[in-house]
């Protein structure tokens, strides 16, 4: 899934000559805190609501733009790139810009969260098991075999390193919610199960997967 596939077309762009008052009105109308600024179709930068509220409402929005390279992403970037940029910059709107400088559109936080939910299989029923493993003992094939021996399959796997221990944390999403037999198998093979979620995952599962994805992106 690339950035171009996540573009929303219902967020307008500001022209460089538009006023700060016009920008604030549009932000209120669309319930967003940032808007891209263009000169014709060429992308100039992103202005924020905080900066606009502290400016002269009659001045042009171009006067609020930062010098240097504006925040943006390429249309062919995999969706993890805009997710990382949006998380690091703490913005809710991210411009997608072609190599020639033309603004294609923007990605909103809602679109990215929806993509992240699909990526982590958060909307698919199932259970989550989190293992703590010495990095030298991590074998995906063995973990997969243990899961499959209990008539289940892995539908998502994510790893990150615990900075306090150096141990590898492995979050496994399987395709069934009753995971007691899988847990018993991991314990029998002396895996350290540090946490698990079975029935009624929904909101907690999405939060957990999102947190793990953010940990991965910050490495």
> Which residues on adjacent β-strands are paired with residue 157?
172
Question: Is the fold of 3-117 the same as that of 128-204?
Answer: no
Per-residue pLDDT for 121 more than 50? yes
Per-residue pLDDT for 95 more than 90? yes
Which 8-state DSSP code applies to residue 55? S
| β-bridge pairing 42-48 and 127-133 | unpaired
Q: What is the pLDDT of residues 7-59, one digit of tens each?
A: 988 899 999 999 999 999 999 999 999 999 999 899 999 999 999 999 999 99
Would you state the pLDDT for residue 8?
87
Question: Which CATH homologous superfamily contains domain 128-204?
Answer: ACT domain (3.30.70.260)
Burial of 133 (0-12, 13-18, 19+ CB in 10 A): middle
Q: Which fold has domain 3-117?
A: CBS-domain (3.10.580)
Asked if 3 contacts 77 with a C-beta cutoff of 8 angstroms, the reply is yes
Q: Where are the domains of the chain?
A: 3-117, 128-204
Q: What is the pLDDT of residues 148-205, one digit of tens each?
A: 999 999 988 888 888 888 899 998 999 988 899 999 999 999 999 998 887 544 455 5
What is the residue whose two structure tokens read 């603004």?
103
């Amino acid at each position: 899934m690339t950035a171009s596939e996540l573009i929303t077309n219902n967020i307008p762009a500001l022209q460089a000559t538009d006023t700060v008052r016009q920008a604030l009105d549009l932000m209120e109308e669309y319930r967003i805190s940032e808007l891209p600024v263009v000169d014709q179709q060429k992308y100039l930068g992103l202005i924020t609501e905080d900066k606009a509220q502290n400016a002269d409402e009659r001045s042009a929005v171009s006067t609020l733009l930062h010098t240097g390279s504006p925040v943006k992403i390429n249309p062919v970037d995999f969706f993890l790139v805009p997710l990382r940029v949006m998380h690091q910059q703490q913005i809710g709107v991210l411009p997608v810009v072609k190599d020639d400088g033309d603004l294609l559109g923007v990605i909103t936080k809602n679109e990215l969260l929806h993509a992240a939910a699909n990526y982590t299989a958060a909307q698919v029923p199932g259970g989550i098991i989190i293992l703590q493993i010495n990095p030298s003992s991590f074998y995906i094939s063995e973990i997969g075999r243990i899961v499959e021996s209990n008539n289940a399959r892995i539908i998502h796997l994510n790893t990150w390193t615990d900075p306090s221990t150096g141990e590898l944390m492995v979050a496994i999403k399987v395709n069934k919610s009753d995971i007691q037999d899988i847990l018993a198998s991991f314990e029998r093979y002396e895996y350290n199960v540090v946490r698990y979620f079975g029935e009624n995952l929904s909101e907690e599962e999405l939060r957990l997967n999102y947190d793990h994805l953010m940990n991965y992106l910050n490495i």
